[in-house]
Homo-oligomer: A and B are copies of this chain.
Amino acid sequence: MEVKLNADVLTDNNAAAAHNRGEFSKNNILVVNLMSSPGAGKTTILEETVRKLSIKYRIGVIEGDLATERDADRIRALGAKAIQINTHGGCHLDARMVAKILPEFDLNEIDIMFIENVGNLVCPSGYDLGQHHKVAVLSVPEGNDKIPKYPTMFRRTELVLLNKVDLLPYLDFNVEEAISDLNGLNPESKLLTISARTGEGFNSWIQWIEGAFEQCKQPNQ
């Protein structure tokens, strides 16, 4: 199975993505599609992000996984609305899956929506879900070589959160090299270092989201 997609699949997906984007715009919702390898820390980042943002914003979360409700349960425990999509073997979310569950949210009541994609550094990158921004999480234990080895992902993301920087003292990871590799693939892309475990770096990430939220509302102001 390849990420070289046939035209029909992409046309169907793009139509559904356009529908989703329309729904989000109508309701002034900022939407972020969060992608990474399994275990890079997407859900733990989201937990801390929801805690911090809930003070000012109404948050919705769509959780993508092959199986289980575990991630949605972790977000619900924080009081945010979360809907789990189980792909039953599918290696990424697509826009139709998202369109199908959107009516389960009261979109009027949401300011910022996070979509946590299936843990996979390959497949999710090719699918527009109707988000405003694609953010990739890379974690220190995965190693420096992941950016050049998974170019389809890192070429298409605007922001990379380098997570688990609390483990830098125990591992060989060169942050400068990661930034240089990333800029080689996509000069527009930024990298922020964070630790969902210690909270380090969250201020910059929260500021980035708030900036994106303000920008996303502008056309209607």
Q: Which residues of A contact B (CB under 8 A)?
A: 1-5, 9, 37-39, 65-68, 70, 87-92, 118-123, 126, 139, 141-143, 145-146, 148-152, 164, 167, 170
Contact = CB atoms under 8 A, between A and B. Distances in A.
A124 to B, nearest CB: 10
Given A1-B5, A5-B1, A120 B91 contact: yes
A91 B148 contact: no
Given A120-B120, A123-B123, A141-B164, A146 B89 contact: no
Copy total for this chain: 2
Given A5-B1, A141-B164, A142-B39, A67 B120 contact: no
B37 A4 contact: no
Contact of A170 (B89, B126, B170): B170
Contacts of A3: 1, 89-91
Given A38-B121, A66-B122, A122-B118, A4 B142 contact: no
B90 A91 contact: no
Given A66-B149, A122-B123, 13 more contacts: A1-B1, A1-B123, A1-B126, A2-B91, A37-B37, A37-B38, A37-B121, A39-B141, A39-B142, A91-B123, A119-B150, A123-B123, A139-B141
